[in-house]
A and B are shown apart, each in its own frame.
Chain A
Amino acid sequence: MHKQVDINLPPVRAAYGMDLAGGFVAVVRARTTRSGIQNETLLEIHTDDLKTALTETAQRVHAEVLFQKAVLSAALPVQDSMARWLEAPFPSMAKARKVLPSLLDIQLPFPLETCVHGFPFLEAPGSGRVRALAVAARKENVDARITACAELNMDPQCLDHEGLALWTQSVAEKPPAQGLRLVAYLGTDRTAWVIGEGDRFLSAHASKTGTRQLGAATPDASQTARHEWRDRALRNLRAQLAAHPDTAIQWYWTGPGADDKPLIGDLESLLHASESGIHYNAHKQPATFLARALAARALEPRDWPWNYRFADAVHPAVSRWRDRARRRTAWTVMAAGLALCVLNLSFGMLADIKNRQADRALERLAQSITGLPSIPRGQERIVVQRALEEQQEQLDPFLRAFDPSHTVTLHDLLRRGQTGGLRYESISLRADHLLIQGSADDWDGCEVLANQLRDEGWTVNLDRQEAVAVEHVRFRLTAGRSS
């Protein structure tokens, strides 16, 4: 598990990288496309009048930065900064973060308070420890670099670690292989050596010797500088070889000095005389390599990201972007909160209106039925039911007037009796109850009447007695029907 750090840059589609050295400047504009990052070299020049050379480029950069379309990234040279691997004896990153500054302080040759420092890479490898890459630079060096850039009207939003930038770009352009890799940046006034293994950055070293010193006017001075340069390079390399014995070494030249083939050939010969196991390679377009690296890292800060410009050193444009982003977030959150409140309020009001409408409708309807001036809320249905029960008694005589007529029923019974050969002894008809007693000529005579009544919806019960003394069949028919 490793922790990514925020390098305090707005998300943009384009970024400028600037490699600035004594008498040399390279500016590259990188932009993200569907096929990846595309670089455009805007400036690559050796001149002592850097300000004039940068005038046009500075205007372009300034315009894009102003409208937040791009950011500018420069590097703090390796000689002005340091990078150290630290290990904190805690499995928790949060706890480790608290002690890492103290661990770094021990390793610094100057007080931590005078430094800009941070940890671009933290990992918990699972051994109960947290490993962190610490980078630090004295505030005065950071301020001096920012001032130097600003004097050229190229005030960068990102001040990267040169060693980390060289390493990530080297790994991006030439995928890592087995063994150690050394990226040698040969500048006009400095050299940086970055050593790593696989895709992992290990260390960065620097010398104030560059092509100017290595190609000095007098042969003696030049040879002296080249030998000193070789010694310094091998010292740095051997420190890593001690930790990684029997390891192949891939050496990658880059920087504006890497185009000087005779110089490079001479330096390789010098190195070969002392250390024969090095395989030499070169990155393409070495003069703009660092500028490309810086632009790419500002555009996509993925591996070993870093920016010395934070806290008090933050660029005003980044501050404004941060403020705007925070205000935008605040407005979005506020709008969401307001929307929720309005939604809830509307819902509550709507429910209240519906409730009141239902109450009013209920009250009006109940009043119209019962004639009561007021009805307790919630009791409408019961009150109406009771009122209707009371009313029903008074309405029943009117409704009965429209019920099927008993007179018609009686007429029908009498007619059926005559036609069916029935002799009624008594007929009792009351509400929905009918009782007929009488006699029939035969057993089935009264069955016809019973079936007719059943067809009309009566529930009929028929009792018959076989006549013994007389010829007729006596019957008793009871019938009922639900109202």
Chain B
Amino acid sequence: MKRPDHSTWWLAGASLLLLIGGIWTVSTLQRYPAQKRHIERKIDDLHQIAAYQQAQERDLAAVQSFEDLPANRPPDLSTLLREQASGLQSEVRRRETRAAWGDWQAHRMEVSLERVPLDVLGRFLSIAEQQRPPWRLIESNIVATEEQPGGARATLVFEGLAKR
């Protein structure tokens, strides 16, 4: 039998290499859709998390605006009430305190006012909200009193942020 010559060996080796390359290519093409989906899912996650980050930055900007305030707690509501609506029958009590971002705590205070004139009530609400940090009205229940026209019984819930 004739022995294969040098060029035959070369051709056989080259054909083997081509075969390997071909099989590799087929395998790559078969895996490509799954790989593409995998990377696309990651990029999608990346975009979503980047959107979360932007939202978080906006939220933290709100915190920063509190950090930038000269005071780190709102004035005492009882004192404010005495200053703005003295002589009224009122009660101030703490409803709850919850931890907020960083060193901050969110305090909820309930203020009950009996027979309060509406103009006094309005002024008190405005002044409470103008404090820095402010007392934000989050709930209010106002019932007109029949015996005093223009007056009402008010139950107000304020929320204020203060540092520990």
Chain A, 395-428, contact with B by CB distance < 8 Å: what is the 0/1 string?
1011111100111001100100000000111111
User: At the interface, is chain A mostly helix, strand, loop or mixed?
Assistant: helix
A430 on the B face (CB < 8 A): yes
Given A333-B18, A397-B100, A406-B137, the answer on whether A326 and B8 have CB atoms closer than 8 Å is yes
Q: Is A354 a contact of B39 with CB atoms below 8 Å? A: yes
- Cα distance, A333 to B13, chains bound together (Å): 9
The closest CB in chain A to the CB of B127 belongs to: A407
Q: How many angstroms from the CA of A50 to the CA of B143 in the assembled complex?
A: 138
Nearest CB on B from A410, distance (A): 6
Tell me whether A330 and B100 are in contact (CB under 8 A): no
Q: How far is the CA of A279 from the CA of B97 in the complex (A)?
A: 129
CA distance A380 to B7 in the complex (A): 56
B25:A406 contact, CB within 8 angstroms: no
B59 touches A347 (CB 8 A): no
Which B residues are in CB contact (< 8 Å) with A411? 122, 125-126
CB closest residue in chain A, given B5: A323
A50 to B20 CA separation, bound complex (whole angstroms) = 57
Known A-B contacts A348-B28, A405-B136, A428-B141; A395 and B63 likewise in contact (beta carbons under 8 Å) = yes
Number of B residues near A (Cβ < 8 Å) is 63
A358 located at the interface, meaning its Cβ lies under 8 Å from any Cβ of chain B in the complex: yes
Contact yes or no, A405 B137, CB < 8 A: yes
Residues from chain B with a CB closer than 8 A to the CB of A329 are 11, 14
Contact of A398 with B125 at beta-carbon distance under 8 Å, contacts A330-B10, A334-B18, A340-B22 already known: no
Partner of A399, one of B5, B17, B62: B62
**Contact assessment for B20 and A399 in the assembled complex, using a CB-CB cutoff below 8 Å:** no
Most B CB within 10 A of own CB, among A332, A406, A425, A427: A406
A426 to B143, Cβ gap below 8 A? yes
Select from chain A the residue with minimum beta-carbon distance to B28. Answer: A344
The answer, yes or no, to whether A281 is at the interface (CB within 8 Å) is: no
Contact bitstring B133-147, A, C-beta under 8 A = 1, else 0: 110111111111000
* A327 within 8 Å of B (CB atoms): yes
Whether the pair B45, A397 counts as a contact (CB closer than 8 A) is no
A interface, CB within 8 angstroms of B:
323, 326-327, 329-334, 336-341, 343-344, 347-348, 351, 354-355, 358-359, 361-362, 365-366, 368-369, 380-381, 384-385, 388, 391-395, 397-402, 405-407, 410-411, 414, 423-431, 438
Enumerate the 3 nearest inter-chain pairs by beta-carbon distance, A residue then B residue, closest first.
A340-B21, A337-B17, A334-B14
20 pairs, A vs B, C-beta closer than 8 Å: A330-B11, A337-B20, A343-B21, A343-B25, A344-B24, A344-B25, A351-B35, A358-B46, A369-B53, A384-B52, A397-B106, A398-B62, A398-B63, A398-B65, A400-B136, A401-B133, A406-B140, A410-B137, A427-B140, A428-B142
